[in-house]
Structure 1
Amino acid sequence: FRTKPSSNRAMQMIHCLTDSERFLSRDVARAVRETHLTGSSKLFILTRTKFWIKNKLPTTIQSDGLVRGVYCLDYQPDEPDGHGVVLLSYTWEDDAQKMLAMSDKKTRCQVLVNDLAAIHPTFASYLLPVEGDYERYVLHHDWLTDPHSAGAFKLNYPGEDVYSHRLFFQPMTANSPDKDTGLYLAGCSCSFAGGWIEGAVQTALNSACAVLRSTGGQVSEGNPLDCINASYRY
């Protein structure tokens, strides 16, 4: 028995699980291919001080501009003179796609600071990385370009609940020897709660029970393979 961390898109692009019906049925493979994953981007700055505390500035700013969400993070609460961390920009979807046009993180950081300065110039004036070193003290990540995920998390478009249904109940194939391929999907993107830990834990339990049943193990009474039934037919 082996586990393999993956995302829906990685299942298609890297592991090629949707190329045939060897492991996944046609309907499940389609759900893997077509389930929507959001784009998301973040940019962090390590600052010399926790300037927002001393200067009584907001710890979070929400904007309709380019930065969208700004968050101040204190990882050293017992050291008032320690470094600060600012999540300068947290974006989803179209807003995250704009970030992809600025692959150089220094350029992106400066553009975002200038954008924030239009609504809070005082806050923006403190947004310089330690020692002015953008290469070392600025970190950005774009999930759409992450080769291991090609997306951040599942967020269904209207009408895609049928895909969630197919992915969530896929481990139930362990109940049918003629359908059981020995591969079971788990993760928030294979649940009805994309992007949340609840969906990941629930599907992990489903798949763990599927492994036990498929390999001849004993599954306790009340297990999800026997007790979870689809109450709605898409």
Structure 2
Amino acid sequence: MSSEALPPVTAFGPDFPFAFDDWIRHPAGLAQMPGEALGREVAVVGGGLAGMVAAYELMKLGLKPVIYEAGRLGGRLRSEPFEGGAGLIAELGGMRFPRSGTAFYHYVDALGLETRPFPNPLAAVTPSTLIELEGEQFYVERGQTPPEALREISAAWAQALEEGADFTRLQQAIRARDVASLKAVWNRLVPLWDERTFYDFIASSRSFSRLGFRHREMFGQVGFGTGGWDSDFPNSMLEILRVAATNLDDDQHYVVGGVEQLPRGLWTKVPRRMVHWPAGTSLAALHGGATRGAVTRIGRGPGETIAITDRWGDTRPYAAALVTCQTWLLTTHLQCDESLFSHRLWMALDRTRYMQSSKTFVMVDKPFWRERDPVTGRYRLSMTLTDRITRGTYLFDHGDDKPGVICLSYSWMSDALKVLPLPVERRVELMLDALKKIYPDVDIARHIIGSPITVSWENDPHFLGAFKGALPGHYRYNHRMYGHFMQDALPPAERGIFLAGDGISWTPAWAEGAVQTALNAVWGIARHLGGHSPAANPGPGEAWGEIGPIALPD
């Protein structure tokens, strides 16, 4: 049977193979609440994707979510408009979303948002890709066979996955949603690769060992799917295996008009079916049109409540609270009572390691990269991967009648830190200078219009980093954070506060992880307040004991 005839690969597990997409589509709903719980207020700290999904689903159950947001709705789904740009935007956070993220796309489709294939390196929709490493260039146009070195790297990566991770069997189990087979493979891989790095996996594989260091270096530059992965070389190999196994780095789309439309759409969307609240109710209506402001303190309130204090000193008790901010904020920017979490969980929250990320965008008068160089015959500008400071350069074509957008640079870790203290104008100058060395006959600056846009997530006090990057040995920490929504065994002093967000998930940096952890929290909050999932539609908590993540010994 061809791969096209098989069920698709989805973000089904592998750590917790629960069908979130089926659960949220089921006509029986997610939970049934007792009458005394209806209308009770639940605090949601953070209006990013996890917070908005959870708030939307809690509202449907008849609860009253109260969202606290320090900045603007969307979190790291931030679509920044260009001034005078006729609706053109720069995606400063998440910008490419794999079709395997079926829970994420449930909400995209519910809002009627349009998506299109993302112009990744070597993707079918990308007119041309140029890879430059140590001054040597590889140029590939759409439909062309990649150079031999790139084909060797691709084959070596596939072979390494097969030999080191039983990859075909792993993906077959994901396609078939065969939980028993999936757990059999994955539970064996967890202790094998948790404490070893991505680079170790590559360097110790027979396929890459035969090719030598040059090919490993090139693999770090070219990567798989989205481009260079050498910034992730120090990460736990388990994290990379999850991405590869669930096709998170494949078949990616962008949201036309900006992905920030998703959290903002959930803010105003009126559900078709809802308990307790009158017809026409939305999150915006429940809030009187505006969220509450920044949180400064989280503590225990009267009785079993969670007390939330905002920046103006107003303290309010809630029946439960969901915290979706980056975990470092709990020990640096918020006064969070230590007694709310165990010391073991605090260790996990504080040991979370966030990766730096920087992007710099410009708007140009037209998609001039469509033009051909009369001498070389190449496109004047290509999607570019390079070892220079720009690292990844992406081209966004909005048609002949609109300006284009260039992401001059998308970089991580040390490359992002190099530009951290620099103003946007200096960043643009650096990027243009680097690209001039690759394209000496192209004057990009001549085409720039409007003001450039940049971001460094590690410099934002509400984030302190872009996304988690688990280091070797972090599986146990992730297990504690991800499983925290299962609170029956916790002492009473630690119940009622829940965690969600991509950093709590097994797949940091991917929107699907934010959605799945939000749904876990919805189940946990409903149970905390006396609710339960319908018998016809059991939730993640009911499945936890049977298919929950393997626990490694201490």
Tell me if TM exceeds 0.5: yes
- Which of structures 1 and 2 has the larger relative contact order (alpha carbons within 8 angstroms, sep 6+)? 2
Give yes or no for contact 1:10–1:149 (8 Å, CA) kept in 2. yes
Deviation at 1:11, TM superposition (A): 2.6
Q: Out of 543, 546, 553, which is 1:227 matched to?
A: 543
Match of 2:334 in 1: 15
Flag structure 1 segments of 5+ consecutive residues without an equivalent: none
Instruction: Name the structure 2 match of 1:114.
Output: 433
Give the Cα–Cα distance (whole angstroms) in 1 for the partners of residues 353 and 441 of structure 2.
39
Q: Whose strand proportion is higher, 1 or 2?
A: 2
Displacement of 1:175? 5.7
Structure 2: how far apart are the matches of 1:39 and 1:220? Answer: 42
Q: SS state of the match for residue 189, structure 1?
A: coil
Equivalent of residue 363 in structure 2, options 35, 42, 46: 46
| Structure-to-structure mapping, 1:116-135, within 5 angstroms | 116-123=435-442, 125-128=443-446, 130-131=448-449
C-alpha contact 2:341 2:494 (8 A) present in aligned 1:
no
Whole-angstrom distance in 1 between the partners of 2:335 and 2:541: 27
**Pairwise CA distance, 1:233:** 2.3
1:201 deviation in Å? 1.7
Counterpart CA distance in 1 for 2:402 and 2:430 is 26
User: Which residue number in structure 1 is paired with residue 349 of structure 2?
Assistant: 32
The alignment partner of 1:165 has SS state of helix
- Indicate whether 1:158 and 2:472 are aligned: yes
TM-score (norm 2): 0.38
Distance in 2 (alpha carbons) for counterparts of 1:220 and 1:11: 34
Moved more, 173-182 or 110-119: 173-182
Q: Give me the whole-angstrom Cα distance separating, in 2, the residues matched to 1:128 and 1:37.
A: 37
Superposed counterparts of 1:26-105, under 5 Å: 26-55=343-372, 56-74=379-397, 76-77=398-399, 80-102=400-422, 104-105=423-424
Conserved 8 A contact 1:188-1:195:
yes
Question: Which aligned segments of 4 or more residues in structure 1 are displaced greater than 6 angstroms?
Answer: none
Taking the aligned partners of 2:447 and 2:43, their CA distance within structure 1 comes to 42
Deviation at 1:120, TM superposition (A): 1.7
Amino acid at match of 2:347: R
Separation in 1, partners of 2:362, 2:417: 20
8 A contact 2:381–2:439 mirrored in 1: no
TM-score by length of 1: 0.88
Please report the RMSD computed on the Cα atoms of aligned residues, expressed in angstroms.
1.9
2:498 is aligned with what amino acid? Y
Residue ranges of structure 2 left out of the alignment (5+ in a row)? 1-41, 47-324, 373-378
**How far has the Cα of 1:129 moved from its partner?**
6.1
> In 2 relative to 1, CA 128–97 (structure 1 residues): closer, same or farther, beyond 3 Å?
farther
Aligned equivalents of 2:490, 2:427: Cα separation in 1: 52
Give 1:122 shift. Answer: 3.1
3-state SS of paired residue (2:517): helix
Give the aligned residue type for 2:334.
H
TM-superposed CA distance for 1:198, in Å, is 2.3
Shift of 1:67: 0.6
Assess if the C-alpha contact under 8 Å between 1:174 and 1:213 holds in 2.
no
Q: 1:175 to 1:205 in 2, by over 3 A?
A: farther
The structural deviation recorded for 1:176 is 4.6
Q: Is the 8 A contact 1:45 1:129 kept in 2?
A: no
Deviations 1:128-173 (A, max 9, x none): 4645xxxx51011001101110000111111111111111011111
Larger CA Rg, structure 1 vs 2: 2
State whether residues 129 and 138 of structure 1, in contact with CA within 8 Å, keep that contact through their aligned partners in structure 2: no
Task: Give the % identical residues.
Answer: 29
- Cα separation, 1, equivalents of 2:418 and 2:447: 23
Q: Provide the C-alpha distance between the structure 1 equivalents of 2:523 and 2:488, rounded to a whole number of angstroms.
A: 9
Q: For residues 51 and 174 of structure 1, do their structure 2 counterparts lie closer, same or farther at Cα, with a shift above 3 Å needed? A: farther
Matched pairs, number: 223
Task: Provide Cα deviations, 1:85-127, integer angstroms capped at 9, x if missing partner.
Answer: 100000000111101132x21111111111111122234x123
- Are the equivalent residues in 1 in contact too, given 2:479–2:551 (CA < 8 A)? no
